[in-house]
């Protein structure tokens, strides 16, 4: 999952970024709304964590703008403003969740997962696809009941594929989902390598190659 954090406090932003990365998320952090807005059009984020007390334009202003532009990305507001009126205003302005500081990273991650799950049309916590079971919270993958060990990147790749079961995702898109702008540039065939590993560890049918277009989730296999 690729996340966009908008938080002006250096210490908190740093903590959020590092903490979420520890949990396996791909994170970009910006300290004001304008830069975050620019990034939104550059990368395929799965969710946004938005602080309200931003320098320049307030977070609520950005939220309103994004929703007016029909940006349907899940947005979780994380703020110190705790009054009921503020909560109502935030939710009515288009936030999918409204959290008051301080919170733990684990809770934040769980709420992000719930948000993303709902936006993907899923209702169950454990994602099933035929014989494949994926628990995004515990990061456990089971194939026909047996546990499969995957690396961080492989997990992220599988999750991305599972999130859009009907779509064909291009290599470039997959790359953007898996890598943020903080680390080093990935190898040009990194995606193929990860796909290969997935097929080897789970099942060759788990990923379907569409020549010239990209990859998609394979057809469901009966969970015998």
Partner 1 sequence: MTLSPRSLQGRLLWLSLGLVVGVWLATAAWTWFDVRHELDELLDGHLAQAAALLVVQQAGELEEEDHAVDAPTLHRYAPKVAFQVFHEGQLALRSANAPVDPMVGSDATFLTGFRTVQIDSVDWRVFAARGADRDVQVYVGEQLSSRAAILWAVLRSMLWPMVIALPLLALALAWSVHRGVAPLRRLGLVLSSRQPQVLVPVVVDDAPPEMLPMIDALNGLFVRIGELMESERRFTADAAHELRTPISAIRMQAQVAQGEADEALRRHALAATIEGCDRATRLVEQLLTLSRLEAGAAAAGQPIDLGAVIRSVASDLAPQAIQKQQTIEVDADEPARVRGDALLMAVLARNLIDNAIRYSPARGTVQVTLASHRDRIRLTIDDSGPGMSDADLARLGERFFRVIGSGQGGSGLGWSIVRRIAAVHRATVEVGRSTSLGGLCVTVDWPLDA
58 near partner 1, judged by CB under 8 A: no
Q: What is the rounded CA–CA span in Å between residue 74 and residue 115?
A: 6
- Alpha-carbon separation of residue 145 from 60, 63, 131, 142 (angstroms): 45, 42, 8, 5
Can you tell me which of 22, 151, 182, 189 binds partner 1, judged by CB under 8 A?
22
Kindly report the CA angle at 31 between 26 and 36, in degrees rounded to 5? 65
220 near partner 1, judged by CB under 8 A: no
183 near partner 1, judged by CB under 8 A: no
Q: What is the rounded CA–CA span in Å between residue 96 and residue 11?
A: 25
Q: What is the rounded CA–CA span in Å between residue 163 and residue 120?
A: 6
Can you tell me which of 19, 44, 94, 214 binds partner 1, judged by CB under 8 A?
19
Kindly tell me which of 32 and 203 has the beta carbon lying closer to partner 1: 32
101 near partner 1, judged by CB under 8 A: yes
Kindly tell me which of 21 and 208 has the beta carbon lying closer to partner 1: 21
Stretch that binds partner 1, among 17-25, 69-77, 183-191, 215-223 (CB under 8 A): 17-25
Kindly tell me which of 64 and 105 has the beta carbon lying closer to partner 1: 105
Residue pair 58/41 in contact by the 8 Å Cβ criterion: no
Backbone φ and ψ of 186, nearest 5°: -75, 160
152 near partner 1, judged by CB under 8 A: no
Interface positions, 69-88, toward partner 1 (CB under 8 A): 80-82
Q: What one-character DSSP code corresponds to residue 218? A: P
Structure-block tokens of residue 2? 């690729």
Q: What CA dihedral angle connects 186, 135, 196 and 28, to 10 degrees? A: -10
Kindly tell me which of 37 and 133 has the beta carbon lying closer to partner 1: 37
Q: Total residues contacting partner 1 (rule CB under 8 A)? A: 24
Task: List residues near partner 1 by CB under 8 A.
Answer: 8-12, 14-16, 18-19, 22, 32, 53, 55-56, 80-82, 100-105
């Amino acid at each position: 999952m690729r996340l966009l954090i908008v938080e002006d406090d250096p210490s908190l932003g740093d903590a959020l970024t590092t903490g979420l990365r520890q949990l396996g998320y791909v994170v970009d952090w910006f300290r004001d709304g304008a830069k975050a807005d620019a990034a939104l059009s550059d990368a395929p984020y799965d969710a946004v964590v938005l602080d309200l007390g931003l320098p320049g334009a307030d977070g609520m202003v950005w939220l309103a703008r994004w929703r007016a532009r029909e940006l349907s990305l899940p947005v979780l507001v994380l703020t110190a403003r705790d009054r009921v009126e503020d909560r109502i205003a935030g939710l009515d302005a288009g936030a999918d969740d409204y959290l008051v500081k301080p919170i733990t990273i684990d809770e934040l991650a769980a709420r992000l997962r719930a948000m993303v799950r709902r936006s993907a049309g899923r209702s169950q916590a454990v994602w099933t696809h035929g014989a494949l079971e994926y628990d995004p919270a515990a990061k456990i993958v089971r194939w026909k009941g047996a546990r499969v060990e995957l690396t961080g990147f492989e997990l992220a790749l599988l999750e991305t594929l599972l999130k859009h079961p009907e779509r064909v995702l291009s290599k470039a898109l997959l790359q953007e989902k898996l890598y943020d702008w903080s680390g080093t540039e990935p190898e040009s065939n990194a995606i193929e390598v990860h796909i290969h590993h997935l097929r080897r560890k789970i099942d060759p049918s788990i990923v379907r190659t569409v020549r010239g277009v990209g990859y998609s989730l394979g057809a469901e296999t009966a969970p015998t």
